[in-house]
Amino acid sequence: MKHTNKYLAAVICGILAIGAAAALAGCDDEEKPSVSENEPSVSVSASEDQSADMPESSADKASEESKDETVKASVGDTVTTKDMKLTMTKAFTAQTLKGDGEYALEDKADSGKVYLILEYEAENISDEKISISTYNFDVSVDGYTVDTTILVNNPDGLKLFSGDMMPGKKMAGYAVYEVPADWKECEAAYSEILSSGSEFVFVLNSSDVSAAS
């Protein structure tokens, strides 16, 4: 009887060990954002293409390193997560922004600064309502954090990028920041509100951003 109990204990321990290994494997397979360069309908993970022709050990190492890296995108790229697709559709700078009409008010950046306007389009690909706003983005310019600027006018007739999306619906809008006229690089890191880290980041250089005419 004692031998039977020892055998059963060994079997149970083995089953628990297999279950723990499977759980860890499941964590490794958690969905991560992927980037499509100027192809909203196609979602390609950079790590898949780079590891396809690598030896198994090298591919595993590249995969492990990619898990610790924030996904990077640029203007025109579409980032796909498990809940949504998000595209930075346009980025431009302006010293002044003026609405239509004879008595339209004017937004004017401070001396030595310009407005950096980022335009986004999002699509809810989940089965539930999701919310998104400019507060989901931690924006920095040349290493310094910048806050959202509130305008009187709406660039390109868009509204501030903020709102709720039902499943299958899309939303477009803008975010604007007052930055030094000689800025070099901007990073807009997206994360869920109250989360501990960013999911992905849009990176753009001043040389890639046009000035409003």
Of 56-60, 100-104, 132-136, 192-196, highest mean pLDDT: 132-136
pLDDT (tens digit, 9 = 90+) per residue, 122-173? Answer: 999 999 999 999 999 999 999 999 999 999 888 888 999 999 999 999 999 9
Helix (H) or strand (E) holding 63: helix 56-67
Helix (H) or strand (E) holding 17: helix 2-28
State yes or no: pLDDT of 61 exceeds 60: no
Query: What DSSP designation does 64 have?
Result: H
Residue 82 placed within a domain: yes
Together in a domain, 79 and 25? no
Residue with tokens 């539930």: 128
Separation between Cα atoms, residue 19 and residue 6, nearest integer Å: 20
Together in a domain, 77 and 177? yes
Separation between Cα atoms, residue 162 and residue 150, nearest integer Å: 13
Domain that holds residue 204: 72-211
Residue 59 placed within a domain: no
Together in a domain, 125 and 192? yes
Residue with tokens 């994360």: 191
Q: Retrieve residue 173's tokens.
A: 């809008």
**Closest listed residue to residue 175, CA positions, set 188, 166, 194:** 188
Number of domains comprising the chain: 2
Q: Retrieve residue 8's tokens.
A: 């059963």
